[in-house]
Amino acid sequence: MTSLQDLVQQGQSVWLDYIRRDLITSGELQHLVSQGVSGLTSNPTIFQKAIAGSTDYNASLHRLLETDPRADVTALYEALAFEDIRLAADILRPVYEATDGADGFVSLEVSPHLAHDTAGTIAEARRLWQAVDRPNLMIKVPATPEGIPAIEALIAEGVHVNVTLIFALAHYEAAAHAYIRGLERAPAPRRAASVASFFVSRVDTAVDRALEAIGTPEALALRGRIAVANAKVAYRRFQEIFGGESFAALRRQGARVQRPLWASTSTKNPAYSDVLYVEELIGPDTVNTLPPHTLEAFLDHGQVRGNTVQEGMDEAEATLARLADLGVDLGAITEQLQVEGVAAFAASYDRLLATLEEKRGSL
């Protein structure tokens, strides 16, 4: 049994935070699925690196340009991305079927330029859902104020949603309640699926800077502890929302919980364990999405100590209280992280289109 399968025994799914054509065609993704990987996520940054950093897509791009030499670069990107997403979804389809639609998903993001456009997000998500045409597709929608009503509308229509760019407890609560409102409007709530992608390592990176600026022993002692504490408090809120009366009627109808998904789980500070955000956030009804190097590290030396996400929850809240006592505004930091996250994905998306324009010229 692999360490990934040990995580499954604790009720946690492991998804790969990466996509590239060769990953799929070489059989590597199939091998990872056999080791316990049960889903895959993508975003504009991942696609930009895959297309710019390899020749995997040149043959497909050449065929597309032979058919339509004047094809719009956005259309070229979508043709390449849709092919990857469909191939990955087909590999994960047996997982989806075996779990009766609870797992085995592949995520595709709406254009990050729509992050503050509710109607545009809904229309784009519908179009992507229909174009990819796979039942185990999840559409990624950011937890911006404009994204929240879009999430509700899409869940009501039966579109699976991966709510992304969640950094704060307030972001998480908004996403969870949007999911529940969508289920209440859905004709078949038991078929709906959603995850709430709660970002982890970026929180420590930002908060550590603030703590180092303070520089006192009390401040420095909190470095590397806030992201996990923030995630544990969110998990406690997940238990309260989905274990309480507000979800009881939907649960009786067979509706699934919206699982917390731990995102941004690669350790940015080399002083911290490279599997910190895996080992400390293990628990039932969760997903951990790992980039390849973190996945390799966990397979090599990761430890499954049990249900760690529920350990020390009171201590996690006390840790966040000490942070506030030092004058560090976690709410302001996490709001800024969401703004920066939207901007970073938009920049990656634009670089991706520029890369395709360059490849078109070279081909």
Digit-coded pLDDT (tens) for 65-122: 999 888 899 999 999 999 999 999 999 999 999 999 999 999 999 999 999 999 999 9
- pTM assigned to the model: 0.96
Q: Quick check: 288 pLDDT over 90?
A: yes
- In angstroms, rounded to a whole number, what is the distance separating the alpha carbons of residues 29 and 22? 9
Q: Which residues belong to the active site?
A: 140
- In angstroms, rounded to a whole number, what is the distance separating the alpha carbons of residues 32 and 16? 9
The full set of domain ranges for the chain reads: 3-362
Q: Quick check: 363 pLDDT over 80?
A: no
Between the alpha carbon of residue 261 and those of residues 67, 73, 88, the distances in Å are 40, 32, 19
Structure tokens at 89: 């979804």
Note the pLDDT of residue 32.
96
Note the pLDDT of residue 52.
86
**Which residues sit opposite 199 in a β-bridge?**
263
The CA-based angle 110-351-291, given to 5 degrees, is: 65
CATH of domain 3-362: 3.20.20.70
Using DSSP bridges, classify how beta strands 137-142 and 106-109 pair: parallel, antiparallel or unpaired: parallel
Q: What is the mean pLDDT of residues 161-184?
A: 98
At residue 152 the predicted structure's pLDDT band, cuts being 50, 70 and 90, is: very high
The residue written with tokens 């979800």 in the block is 247
What is the C-alpha radius of gyration for the chain, rounded to an integer number of angstroms? Answer: 20
Average predicted confidence (pLDDT) for the chain: 96
Type of residue at 121: T
- In angstroms, rounded to a whole number, what is the distance separating the alpha carbons of residues 328 and 322? 9
The full DSSP string for 241-266 is HHHSHHHHHHHHTTPPP-EEEEE--S
- In angstroms, rounded to a whole number, what is the distance separating the alpha carbons of residues 109 and 265? 19
Q: Is the dihedral of CA 332, 227, 337, 155 positive or negative?
A: negative
- In angstroms, rounded to a whole number, what is the distance separating the alpha carbons of residues 206 and 120? 31
Answer yes or no: are the C-beta atoms of 185 and 158 closer than 8 Å. Answer: no
